């Protein structure tokens, strides 16, 4: 990798002759495959933008106080990181305290924002440039790089609509068209782009049509009259940029996104083009690596091969020696087949995803019930409002959305579901600490933002049998119901004493004790059981409660526990502000229970960084040993 080793920052790249860019791209691709398969991370998306990222850095003066490159989602920013001083840290990619898997201004001044949500780049890029102008600072050139899936998001269209109405403002949007989000892209806009890919000769054909129409001699008045209309009709049918031109953008392309020399030429042509401009680039997700080309979805995110696995849940329940560890499965792997089975018996059940059929487990549902499965693309707002309409029409919609992505549809949750008393079930995957994806992906706020919604019911299962029971319960419930679970293996068999029927707002006591009471929500039940076992070795007796509900909480039962135990502690894989513990405090205060005996364990008032789930649970006091240690310290405080 002789060329790559000479490049630490963009200025080093610019010193290379253009002839060296192609071999450099080959070296970068080899480096990506070697590093990402070792650490885990997003592979196929980054392989698809090698040439494009190199060309952008070669042409533009990207850096602080200079030109800016804003990535949509930014899971495809690994090459950008390599070219901006972070290549030597790739062995720590997505590891605890290591290199972030997304762009982050906390990591490098070459990154404008920390981002991993789709559809945001055009708004951010436009706002940044205008902000610089208002502050009388050099705005430079600002480039937004967005995929064909992300540009279909409602927010992206809102930004394009705004930017296209300001012809005096310079903005370059690069559309990375690879026909993929994580799975295949969906929607009418994508079908429009497909017209381009239908012929490898599109670019040359477009030139031929324009040339022919402009050189045919005028033969009589009729032809002279109709020729412009013929040209307009041909361009409208063949040109996928028509929609962008109608929005006020000058459209260029499409261009082969793996021809680095042609990309450099085209970007240099556009660098000084004024006003809103969109360059359409055709790429292949996983390009240059056959396994990823054949199955780009599977290689969108790869697990580590050499590093320790990132999401292996520790064995939390203390067991007699020789007893095997309980069999486990990720919730999404269990949820999808379960929902498909329930839908087999109830024709009203429909499933909705926002471009995450595999991540949410709904790919199984799609195969078994394709007529009742809806992938709306990266449009969470539409997904939730659509679910509300389905419910009002008589269906029983289940919308499976990552906790962090549901934040984008909060108004729709309130206005289009809860206010309408629409029976919608929200299944929130990736709740709590997610792991390698970090700050923007940790689902730390869903309890807090859903709890104030009138009529909402919030639940979290402690094991997979309870997930099934809660899903059945939710599908029988009127109004808004939300279930949350983490990206972590759950027990296939029921926890001790956890087989009681699900009853609205009722908790389950899993273990009886006298000294302290642990109120655990969802995934925190098992570490609390481990903590109780550890406390027993210290001569302390602990009650462990599976709370089941964050709204409504089991206030009467919790008040009784607060009065009968020296200490009551709530434990949640969620922000403390507004979370489950806050709900318990409110319920106890309403009932006059002794609040001085109550303490809470959860996530602090900060964005939690990336790292393995196991490491971060330990760091924030949510592992069994840390919970036990906190209880001992709190007991010393209470006893004086």
Is-contact 467 329, C-beta < 8 A?
no
Please choose, from the candidates 609, 600, 548, the residue with its C-alpha nearest in 3D space to the C-alpha of residue 572: 600
Calculate the alpha carbon distances from 601 to 291, 425, 622, 631 in Å: 44, 28, 7, 10
Tokens of 54: 């190199």
What's the rounded Cα separation, in Å, for the pair 72 and 124?
10
CA distance 576 to 631: 17
Neighbours of 177 (CB within 10 A): 25
Q: Which residues pair with 143 in a beta bridge?
A: 69, 172
Catalytic residue among 86, 285, 372, 613: 285
Q: How many CB atoms lie within 10 A of CB 93?
A: 24
**Residue 493 preceded by cis peptide, ω within 30:** no
3-state SS track over 59-89: HCCECCCCEEEEECCCCCCHHHHHHHHHHHH
Locus of tokens 């849940």: 313
DSSP 300: T
- Mark whether 514 is an active-site residue: no
Whether 466 is catalytic: no
- β-partners of residue 397 are 350
The SS3 call for residue 630 is: helix
In a 10 Å sphere around its CB, with 0-12 CB exposed, 13-18 middle and 19+ buried, how is residue 345 labelled?
exposed
List the one residue out of 73, 192, 70 whose CA is nearest residue 129: 70
Nearest CA among 303, 297, 316 for reference residue 366: 297
| Element spanning 349, H or E | strand 349-353
**Using CA atoms, how far apart are residues 239 and 437, in angstroms rounded to an integer?**
37
- As beta bridge partners, residue 70 has 144
Q: Tokens at residue 81, please?
A: 């990181």
Residue 92: burial class (beta carbons within 10 Å; 0-12, 13-18, 19+) = middle
The strand pair at 171-177 and 142-147 is best described as: parallel
CB atoms < 10 A from the CB of 164, how many?
Answer: 20
Q: What is the DSSP string of 366-404?
A: HHH-GGGEEE--S-HHHHHHHHHHHHHTT-EEEEEEEHH
408 is annotated as an active-site residue: yes
Choosing from 408, 491, 511, 551, the catalytic residue is 408
Closest CA to 45 of 3, 1, 76, 24: 76
d(Cα 346, Cα 395) in Å, to the nearest integer?
Answer: 10
**Candidate list 51, 313, 366, 380, residue with the active-site label:** 380
Q: In sequence order, which residues have a C-beta less than 8 Å from that of residue 636 and are 6 or more positions away?
A: none
The DSSP secondary structure of 530-575, one letter per residue, reads HHHHHHHTTT--EEEEE--EEES--HHHHHHHHHHSSEEEEEEEEE
Q: Which region, left, alpha or beta, applies to residue 136 given φ > 0 means left and ψ of -120 to 50 means alpha? A: left
Residues carrying an active site annotation: 285, 380, 408
């Amino acid at each position: 990798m002789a060329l790559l080793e000479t490049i630490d920052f963009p200025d080093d790249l610019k010193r290379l002759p253009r002839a060296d860019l192609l071999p450099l791209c080959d070296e970068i691709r080899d480096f990506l495959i070697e590093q990402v398969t070792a650490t885990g991370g997003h592979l196929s998306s980054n392989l698809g933008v090698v040439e494009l990222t190199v060309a952008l850095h070669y042409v533009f003066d990207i850096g602080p106080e200079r030109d800016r490159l804003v990535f949509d989602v930014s899971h495809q920013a690994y090459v950008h990181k390599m070219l901006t001083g972070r290549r030597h840290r790739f062995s720590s990619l997505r590891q605890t305290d290591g290199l972030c898997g997304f762009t982050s201004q906390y990591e490098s001044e070459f990154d404008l924002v920390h981002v991993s949500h789709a559809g945001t780049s055009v708004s951010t890029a436009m706002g940044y440039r205008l902000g610089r102008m208002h502050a009388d600072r050099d705005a430079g050139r600002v480039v937004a790089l967005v995929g064909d899936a992300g540009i279909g998001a409602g927010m992206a269209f809102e930004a394009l609509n705004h930017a296209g109405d300001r012809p005096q403002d310079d903005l370059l949007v690069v559309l990375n068209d690879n026909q993929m989000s994580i799975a295949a892209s969906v929607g009418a806009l994508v079908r429009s782009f497909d017209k381009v890919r239908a012929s490898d000769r599109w670019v040359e054909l477009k030139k031929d049509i324009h040339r022919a129409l402009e050189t045919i001699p005028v033969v009589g008045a009729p032809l002279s009259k109709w020729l412009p209309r013929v040209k307009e009709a041909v361009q409208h049918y063949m040109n996928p940029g028509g929609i962008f031109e109608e929005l006020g953008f000058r459209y260029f392309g499409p261009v082969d996104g793996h021809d680095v020399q042609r990309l450099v030429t085209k970007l240099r042509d556009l660098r000084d083009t004024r006003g809103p401009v969109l360059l359409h680039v055709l790429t292949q997700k996983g390009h240059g690596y056959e396994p990823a080309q054949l199955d780009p979805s599977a290689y969108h995110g790869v697990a580590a091969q050499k590093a320790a696995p990132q999401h292996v849940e520790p064995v939390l329940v203390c067991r007699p020696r020789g007893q095997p560890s309980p069999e486990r499965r990720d919730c999404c792997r269990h949820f999808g087949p379960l929902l498909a089975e329930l839908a087999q018996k109830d024709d009203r059940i429909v499933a909705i995803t926002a471009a995450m059929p595999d991540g949410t487990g709904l790919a199984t549902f799609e195969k078994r019930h394709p007529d009742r499965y809806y992938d709306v693309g990266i449009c969470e707002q539409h997904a939730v409002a659509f679910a509300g309409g389905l419910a009002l029409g008589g269906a029983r919609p289940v919308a499976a959305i990552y906790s962090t992505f549901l934040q984008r549809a909060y108004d729709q949750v309130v206005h289009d579901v809860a206010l309408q008393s629409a029976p919608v079930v929200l299944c929130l995957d990736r709740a709590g600490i997610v792991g390698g994806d970090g700050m923007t992906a940790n689902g730390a706020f869903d309890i807090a933002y859903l709890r104030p919604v009138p009529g909402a019911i919030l639940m979290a299962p402690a094991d997979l049998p309870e997930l099934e029971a809660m899903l059945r319960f939710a599908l029988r419930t009127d109004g808004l119901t939300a279930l949350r679970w983490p990206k972590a293996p759950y027990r296939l068999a029921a926890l001790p004493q956890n087989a009681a029927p699900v009853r609205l707002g009722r908790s389950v006591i899993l273990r009886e004790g006298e000294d302290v009471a642990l109120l655990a929500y969802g995934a925190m039940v098992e570490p609390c059981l481990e903590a109780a076992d550890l406390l027993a070795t210290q001569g302390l007796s602990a009650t462990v409660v599976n709370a089941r509900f964050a709204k409504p909480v089991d206030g009467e039962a919790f008040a009784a526990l607060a009065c009968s135990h020296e200490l009551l502690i709530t434990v949640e894989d969620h922000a403390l502000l507004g979370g489950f513990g806050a709900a318990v405090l409110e319920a106890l205060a309403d009932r006059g229970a002794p609040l001085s005996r109550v303490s809470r364990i959860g996530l602090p008032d900060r964005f939690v960084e990336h790292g393995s789930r196991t490491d971060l649970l330990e760091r924030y006091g949510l592992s069994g040993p840390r919970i036990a240690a906190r209880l001992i310290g709190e007991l010393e405080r209470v006893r004086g």
